[in-house]
Amino acid sequence: MLPHLLSRGIGSSTSSNGLLNYAFVVLIAAVFTGPGFAGVAISASVDSEDSSLCFKPADWVGKYPSKSGDHASGRFFDLPCVHRKLKAILSSADFNLVVNRLTVDAPIQMMGNYLLVARCEAHNCPSSHAMVIIDTEKRNYFVGLYRRSASVSITKWYATDEDPYYLPTEIRESFLRKHEPRP
């Protein structure tokens, strides 16, 4: 059974120096199925100033996000538009988790108009993983995080303008399939 995720972004503003900033972030605790399962969805409206992609999605499909390969731009998360968007919507701890601490990468996939970038913790993938999802048409970003310990499971969703609930079912299921079920 898929969890029902709820979130709502409120307002946006641009600071005087033109850097992206958001005025409000609303946390809404969601109710998930299963004992000990907690979830949070966080959404922030960010300015359209950074609404274009600074990369061609087709250039990254099948590539690993932490490897520069033949990309002059380096790692996927070092691309200016990706780095800025993730910094704008994620807490600093979760930004560090996604960009630096989760070091095992899956090849980047394209599912419809969504680019999927999955990462996990070495030797602990089913219990600690993240998925960055970019709607290449609407330029919306979504980040799903999952952490499980012996006593609790936590799922967090961050998003720019759209609620993660409206992601295609196959994308939400792809994220959930990476979880390790409790015995």
Residues 113-135: what's their mean pLDDT?
95
Among 9-13, 18-22, 177-181, the range scoring the smallest mean pLDDT is 18-22
Please give the pLDDT value at position 183: 57
Please give the pLDDT value at position 65: 92
Q: What is the pTM of this model?
A: 0.71
Please give the pLDDT value at position 24: 25
Please give the pLDDT value at position 15: 34
Residue 133 has pLDDT above 90, yes or no: yes
| pLDDT, the chain, mean | 75
**Three-class secondary structure of residue 107 per DSSP:** coil
Instruction: Give the separation between CA 9 and CA 81, rounded to whole angstroms.
Output: 20
Q: Give whole-number Cα distances, 66 to 18, 56, 62, 75, 133, in Å.
A: 29, 17, 12, 5, 16
Residue 11 has pLDDT above 60, yes or no: no
Residue 27 has pLDDT above 60, yes or no: no
Residue 181 — very low, low, confident or very high, per pLDDT cuts 50/70/90? Answer: low
